[in-house]
Chain A
Amino acid sequence: MSEITSPTKQPPSIKISSGELYQRWRLVKDALARYGVVVGGLGVIVAIVLIFFYLLYVVYPLFISATAQPVSEYAVPEQALGNTLLLEMEEQNEVGARFTDSGHVVFFEVASGKTLLTQAVAIPEGAHITSFAQGSPINEGAVIYGLSDGRAVVVKHQYKVTYPDNVRVITPSLKYPLGEQPLVMDESGAALEKIAVKAGNDATTIVVKTADTPQGAGKIRLVNFQKEQSLFAEEAALTRTDSIFEQPAANIADILIDKEESNLYLISNDGQMGFFDISDKNSPAIRQQQNVVSAGQKITSVAFLNGDLSLMIGDSSGLVSQWSMVKDKLNRPAMQKIRSFKVSDKAVVAINAEQRRKGFMTTDADGIVGIYHSTAEREMVKERISGALPTAAVLSPRANAMLVQSADGKMHFWHIDNEHPEVSIRSLWQQVWYESYPKPDYIWQSSSANNDFEPKYSLTPLVFGTLKAAFYAMLVAIPLALMGAIYTAYFMAPKMRQYVKPSIEIMGALPTVILGFLAGLWLAPFMEEHLSGLFAMLMIIPVGVMLFAFAWQFIPKPIAHRLSEGWDAALLVPVILLSGWFAFKVSVPLETFLFHGTLRDWFKAEFGIGYDQRNALVVGVAMGFAVIPTIFSIAEDAIFSVPKHLTVGSLALGATPWQTMIRVVLLTASPGIFSAIMIGFGRAVGETMIVLMATGNTPVMDLSVFQGMRTLAANIAVEMPESEVGSTHYRVLFLAALVLFMFTFVFNTLAEVIRQRLREKYSSL
């Protein structure tokens, strides 16, 4: 454009336009940098918020309730083959099995109801099925049929998974673990009215209740088969043991055998439970006979919780109570009611336990299905499956699906989304009565070798341990750090201060792993050996310091002034070393004289306080060491920056330096000191390596100085690497991290706000 209008000005205009471009480029750069920097600056906030929300995001699924959705509904497969005795579903939720009262097993596709295979169980001619029981859940899959001629058949259903062409194919089959020949339970041929079986690897125990016959009343019989693996024979030989119970069998409605095959429970119609010890198969012994439902109610359903340590007993009032074996005062095992669930107003007609967790499913007489978790005492799902009453129901082994048959001949297949039933506010923070524990307690025990273990996720002992460790650390750190800060900021010679401050900074920079290592491997054994010396030191050093200070007055003034003006701390170093040495020297004879032995033994004998080598005292000293610099430098800063005219004014009015310190300086600096303590406390709470190395890491709740603890941070460090991603344990550990985060967040924010206020105050003074 400029070419046309003013061709003469061409060269300068080019110059200007390139200059303009450059100018514009400069401004663009400037603006870009501005945005970049703003984004970077705000990124800090983003980072902290991201940490918080990420932790929350991982923790959140713990607290959402479970859901159940219907997937499909179809007519009961092969209905002509009889009523359903038992429904089963295998691991992958693909193949279901229906055991009918005509002795057939119908395997069908769970999703569509298409029959895959129908097999008849080998029931001998002339006999019919009089009783039926499930021996163990699907992974072993044993069921037993009691027959009208006093014999029984044990059948296992198995599912073989193969991958032809990378497609999963599940093939069901039946197997007879004790032979296809029926086992004779009762020689007289009385019908087996009730039956129960537990089929283990080496032993199988069957308990039956026979029907009354003209020859006599029905009895309870126990038969045990022990597999004897001989060296030479291919087939294992079975050794049979028989015994007959003396107790009357009339009312028995349910028989349960635990998986160890050493405890037997007989449930009778009138609400009685008999608890028998059958570890000696020749002579079963009764341990307990008790009424387990309230008066007027009847037991309507019974099932073992996973692990066979607890019985879930449902009654006609809709109450499900958990009875678990607890050692009584005389150390005898006895069944005790540890909690109960009000499931419905109608009778509980069926209880199905989850196979991997301590959850269970109930079906009531109204046709409402509920899923609960025992430890967490949570109701996860409560749904009406169909208009008609449910007649059979099963939870899948992974508890992520259920199959319910209703009275109108329909089969309902539902998906369940129930990932983390173990956790509730109650199970995290309150006392929980765990199976086999004598009383409700706070316990952290997240994993164990066996898979029917009840995880105990109580954060209380960990929080307790954290606070305990922090408390002892602060007990050591606060006096030393604050007194040191007061002296350094106000009394110390500037020259000395120049060296003291960096030394304390170095102290703060020492890696905690080194402090932890020294605490665990050097301090802990040292303290164990010289406990009395340590206590003596606590008393003797202050006295020594005081004596020296008192004596110092008598030193001729000129010398004293030359030496001590602000250098008292340096003078005291040899004094403290000497009195410390003296304390250790004198402690041994003193100990012998006062306690007639060692201090540790005396504590044990007098107060019953045991001594752990790695205890709270060691942690207190080591973590105190780590926290001192934090508190020291913030407090020193606050005291040092108290405006000079305040102190000068006070001194001019005739106050002594110490009075000025206490009445003026400390008062003005108190918010700063407070925030120093808070930040120090936050640091002590989150410290990991020292506690990890200097305590035994046992999650006990014990206030004693001589006992260890486990803190939240150490717990995360110990357990996080081996927790499965996405599992409840993993999320609970994240919750522990979130708790730590929140804790320190509150403390740090408060401290920072106080400090900001203080800074404003100082600047206005």
Chain B
Amino acid sequence: MIRIKAWFKSGAPWVWLNAAAVSTCLIMVVGVLGLIVVRGAGHFWPAPVVQFSYQEPDGQTRTIIGEHVDTSITPAAMAKSSGHIMADDEDTLVQYLVKTGNRDITGTDFRWILERNIKQQQSPAELMVVERREWGNFYGQLVAVKESGKVIAEGEQAGPVAQARINEALAVFDEIAHLEKKEVGGINYKLDQLRLEQKGLQLKNRWDAAAEQRISVEKAELEIEYKKYQAQLLELYKQIRRDSLVAKTESGQEVEVPLAKVVRVYWPNTMSMFDKIGHYGVKVVEFLTDDPREANTEGGIFPAIFGTVMMVLMMSVIVTPFGVIAAVYLREYAKQGFITRLIRIAVNNLAGVPSIVYGVFGLGFFVYILGGNIDQLFYPEAAPAPVYGTPGLLWASITLALLTLPVVIVSTEEGLARIPRSIREGSLALGATKLETLWLTVLPMASPAMMTGLILAVARAAGEVAPLMLVGVVKLAPTLPLDGNYPFLHLDRKFMHLGFHIYDVGFQSPNVEAARPLVYATSLLLVLVIVGLNLSAILIRNHLREKYRALEG
């Protein structure tokens, strides 16, 4: 007893408790990162397809085919309170979440089943998964392959034939996508430009016979080109609609799956480890480089990655000079006193103002005031459709540049502060002006610090969502902000963003359950990018500290 008292008096328990707080924080960080990694990376691994023989509540036994996604174990008391009938000797209620797919047939992709009602469970080799462009996955057995309605392969041969036909269809699909997006999209863009040009000329009262002649000729040329592509597309569509698969669902019903809608077919239960790794690789590549499908719940996130990168690049171009200049002013030019204190307060406030306020400011000031005036001055022909008077890439970048300005300032300032006075004095003593000293000695030495600041700013901007929701991010952008149409970089376009993608797919999607794995995968990507950026910033900073410590010593 005395011992305990003495122990408490020494203060040691409190130190331990404080240590526990640190451990808790560490556990939380590692736990969150681990959760994202496990869930995010696991999504692409081909799960076995299981065939359950399941006794329904009404007593009938049915076959259920699907992927076993999740297991929930509920204590008896809680299960009872949520309305399950529990036997006295049961401690827990075990339920499986099964992804049954076939949404076009059954109406749902997922269902919860009770473990105790499963009579039998196996993974037959013939079960296949069809990833489709509509209605989600299909689970079932391949029966036959059809060409223009006629069966061309059945039973054993159906598998390889189906695979070959799908590859053909995919090639055609790629061609169609290329034609529609690149060629036809380009023609549409040019037609729109012509229309705007015509309207612009009319507004300026320079719409004369010559202009009319020129524009109508150009239009006619585009029309002809368009017709040509139209014919090609028609042919390709005919080709892609030729084949279909016949498959049997869990209830034994035979359905036809047109190959035009199929992304891939695989038989997960027969895959070897290498097959699975290969499949995983293909899925990851698809995730990183493909467009989203099915309301963003399937497919890739390439446009979101692209949009994020574009926005961050634009933002860096804007924020770096301003941040560096402000930091240089604070460290090199300003007399330390009232003004610098004021600026520091302003910097801290810029860092502390909620990001949504930046969004509101960006929307009101940049989009409506600046953008609205730019439209009136330079794009009167587009009215009433706004060009810059609507949220877009440019405004998002500027808003985020304002948001990340303090990060760059603080980091650069720290770097400048670490450069020993002797270096500046040496340069000045040799007759260099202040600017030359700055430009030729100080700034190059501080460049890693600026780099750190920029990296941190990029990391912050990549993860920021709230202001972007107001100033330019959309859930699905039809075109990328950078494409083959003059002037190539379209600053007025709306774009997709990884962070917003997570919010949108996770919370606004009609089918959250189906979208969840993709959200985890997107989160993983975002976390990897941001943690990577931050770690590199930390490394550069530590390296820098060492370097100047050596310099000072």
Contacts and interface: CB of A to CB of B under 8 A. Distances in A.
Interface in B347-371: 347-361, 363-365, 368
B469 A510 contact: no
Contact of B18 (A486, A502, A546, A688): A486
B361 A54 contact: yes
A388 to B, nearest CB: 46
Contacts of B80: 597
Nearest to B30: A503
Interface in B381-412: 402, 405, 409
Interface in B62-113: 72, 74-78, 80-81
Nearest to A622: B32
Given A514-B523, A568-B16, A744-B352, A484 B364 contact: no
A40 B22 contact: no
Interface string A731-747: 00110010011001101
Pick from A34, A47, A511, A541 the residue with the most CB of B within 10 Å: A511
B353 A686 contact: yes
B207 interface: no
B526 A514 contact: yes
B433 A51 contact: no
A597 B77 contact: yes
A516 B355 CA distance: 15
Nearest to A720: B470
Given A54-B364, A686-B355, A720-B363, A546 B16 contact: yes
Contacts of A658: 10-12, 14-15
Interface in A424-463: none
Interface string A473-517: 000000111111011100110000000101111110111111111
B203 to A, nearest CB: 15
Given A542-B17, A720-B363, A748-B348, A505 B354 contact: no
Interface string B455-494: 0100110111110011000000000000000000000000
Contacts of B361: 51, 54-55, 737
A717 B360 CA distance: 9
A545 interface: yes
Contacts of B81: 597-598, 601
A504 B30 CA distance: 10
A661 to B, nearest CB: 8
Interface stretch (A81-89, A160-168, A646-654, A677-685): A677-685
B371 to A, nearest CB: 12
Interface stretch (B128-136, B142-150, B208-216, B499-507): B499-507
Contact of B7 (A506, A550, A682, A753): A550
Interface in A215-230: none
Given A529-B74, A592-B75, A717-B470, A748 B349 contact: yes
Interface string A528-560: 010000000000011001101110110000000
B24 A505 contact: no
Interface stretch (A119-127, A261-269, A518-526): A518-526
Contact of B342 (A40, A45, A481): A45
B103 to A, nearest CB: 21
A656 interface: yes
Interface in A241-289: none
A516 B500 CA distance: 12
B224 interface: no
A507 B352 contact: no
B177 interface: no
Interface stretch (B48-56, B299-307, B323-331): B323-331
A752 B25 contact: no
Nearest to B523: A514
A536 B458 CA distance: 41
Contacts of A662: 11
Contacts of A682: 352
Given A54-B365, A506-B535, A26 B325 contact: no
A36 B434 CA distance: 13
B29 interface: yes
A713 B466 contact: yes
A717 B339 CA distance: 35
B22 A488 contact: yes
B352 A747 contact: yes
Nearest to B10: A656
A179 interface: no
Given A41-B330, A42-B343, A45-B343, A568 B25 contact: no
A591 to B, nearest CB: 7
Interface stretch (A134-142, A326-334, A572-580): A572-580
Contacts of A503: 25-26, 29
- Name B's interface SS: helix
A756 B344 contact: yes
Given A744-B349, A744-B353, A752-B348, A546 B28 contact: no
Contacts of B29: 503-504, 506-507
Interface string A744-765: 1101110111001000000000
A40 B18 contact: no
Given A27-B433, A30-B433, A752-B348, A502 B538 contact: yes
B34 to A, nearest CB: 12
Interface string A679-715: 1001101111100110000000000000000000100
B463 A513 contact: yes
A26 to B, nearest CB: 5
B234 interface: no
Contact of B503 (A55, A516, A625): A516
A756 B342 CA distance: 11
B77 A41 contact: no
B28 A37 contact: no
B20 interface: yes
A570 interface: yes
Contact of B325 (A27, A41, A597, A685): A41
B346 interface: yes
A753 B344 CA distance: 10
A754 B15 CA distance: 27
Interface in B430-451: 433-436, 438
A741 B353 contact: yes
Given A51-B353, A505-B538, A514 B20 contact: no
Contact of A47 (B346, B499, B502): B346
A753 B523 CA distance: 38
Contacts of B26: 500, 503, 569, 573
Given A40-B325, A546-B16, A569 B343 contact: no
Pick from A44, A50, A692 the residue with the most CB of B within 10 Å: A44
A492 B22 contact: yes
A40 B355 contact: no
Contact of A713 (B12, B32, B326, B354): B354
Interface in B214-244: none
Contacts of A756: 341, 344
Contacts of A50: 365
Contacts of A68: none
Given A47-B405, A553-B12, A571-B19, 13 more contacts: A37-B332, A38-B334, A42-B339, A487-B22, A492-B19, A513-B503, A514-B36, A573-B26, A576-B24, A683-B352, A685-B354, A689-B465, A721-B469
9 pairs of A and B residues whose beta carbons are closest in the complex? A686-B354, A658-B11, A41-B329, A511-B463, A40-B325, A483-B21, A688-B466, A748-B352, A549-B16
24 contacts: A34-B435, A37-B325, A40-B326, A40-B328, A47-B405, A48-B346, A54-B364, A480-B24, A500-B26, A502-B538, A509-B530, A512-B465, A514-B499, A521-B512, A541-B24, A545-B20, A552-B16, A573-B26, A588-B75, A592-B75, A656-B10, A688-B465, A752-B349, A753-B345
Interface of B: 4, 7, 10-29, 32, 35-36, 72, 74-78, 80-81, 322, 325-326, 328-330, 332-334, 339, 341-361, 363-365, 368, 402, 405, 409, 433-436, 438, 456, 459-460, 462-466, 469-470, 499-500, 502-503, 506-507, 512, 516, 519, 523, 526-527, 530-531, 534-535, 538
